[in-house]
Amino acid sequence: MISVDNFLIPIQQRFQNEYNLDKVLKLLNNIEKYIPVVNVVGTNGKGSTSFFLSKGLKTKYKKVGLFISPAFLYHNERIQINNQPISDENLKKYISKVDNFIKEYKLTFFEIWTLIAIMYFYDNQVDIAVIEAGIGGLKDSTNLFTNQIATILTSVSFDHTEILGNTIEKIIYQKVNIAKDNTLLFISLDNAEYKNIIENSITNDVKIVYANKYDKEKIEYQRGNKGVVKAVLEFLGVQDFSCLKLTSLAGRFTKLEYKNKKIIIDGAHNVDGIKGLISSVENKNEWRILYGAIDGKEHSKILNLLDENFNDVSITTFDFHKAWDINKIDHENKVKDWKEFIESSNKNLIICGSLYFIPLVYKYLIEK
């Protein structure tokens, strides 16, 4: 598989005023309409929810597509059929196929990945696909999947406010309106406080289903995710709920052991994500915290939450062009070398933060 460290797809603009993937799909005779999909939007829990749902759907359908982001260790992870990532050979082949479209229509990075997923799923005639949004929903390229069976809204909070808006109303509006006419919108119970906002935000003819939490789950923040998955599976006539017993993707409350200490790594990188992580940790005094982030997050709120709940909290930076400058952050405990911190610690560790940081930690520990 192709490591995310390797250059693969040209880094076009991430965001721009005009998006052109719809024009490309028209040239391809709108092949996306032949792919039945469940769209997954939200702020936290999209990846886990998409993963659990894809596993559950395999008990009914022969070919289940899965489109997720960001990639954790390998580019191939983004596009899967029956939870098998696209092969290196196929991925390179489809990149070559879309090269002219990229140049002529100035496709953004995420549009490119969405186009490859559509072509791959169409060519392989998947029976159904689970499609995780990149950012938002209404303006996201995954909104171009028109053969929508249902939409899932996972936990919503403030993130990507520069794109989605700086109020919860604006953020919810962007997310829920990916739901098409005459479909069902399944809402995680994590969003109970936003019930009125959600109902007032919907512009299409959509039926709302509020899912219960899955109380058999030990990790608090996965209860809402698994609850909404169970509701969708029931709607689709799936009887086998064994997928709800699974642990999630790597980097979501992943437990490891290293040099006689326990380590939990988790991609909690916004306020609600951190709250979910905190609620899932028992015996908080047993853990040291290491948090690494990128620019643009609610750093002070996040660090206050961590400091209020744990006795030993440190921050660090990492090798990534968007990584924050910890010299500009008002916090007492700063770690320059996170690898050295892991090696020297004699206490159990929780390492959390950006999903650009967490894969680096996971890979380091697995290789060691």
The full set of domain ranges for the chain reads 21-245, 254-367
3-state SS assignment for residue 109: helix
CATH class for domain 254-367?
Answer: alpha beta
* Residue among 359, 358, 354, 315 at smallest CA distance from 337: 315
Residues of the chain with pLDDT under 70: 10-17, 158-166, 297
Starting at the earlier edge strand, list the strands of the sheet with 84-85. Answer: 84-85, 79-81, 64-67, 128-132, 37-41, 148-153, 183-187, 206-210
Q: Which two structure tokens, joined as six digits, stand for 221?
A: 């923040």
**DSSP-assigned letters across all residues of 29-61:** T-GGGGS-EEEEE-SBSHHHHHHHHHHHHTTT-
CA torsion sign for 184, 186, 191, 195 is positive
Instruction: Phi first, then psi: give them for residue 265, nearest 5 degrees.
Output: -115, 135
Examine residue 10 and say whether the peptide bond preceding it is cis (omega within 30 degrees of 0). Answer: no
Q: Which two structure tokens, joined as six digits, stand for 362?
A: 């996971």
Contact 303, 291 (CB under 8 A): yes
| Tens digits of residue pLDDT in 151-191 | 999 988 755 545 554 688 888 998 999 999 999 999 999 99
Cα distances (Å, whole numbers) of residue 13 to 108, 110, 363: 5, 9, 28
Which CATH superfamily is 21-245 part of?
Mur-like, catalytic domain (3.40.1190.10)
Contact 273, 256 (CB under 8 A): no
Q: What is the pTM of this model?
A: 0.88
| Tens digits of residue pLDDT in 203-221 | 999 999 999 999 999 888 8
Whole-number pLDDT of residue 13: 55
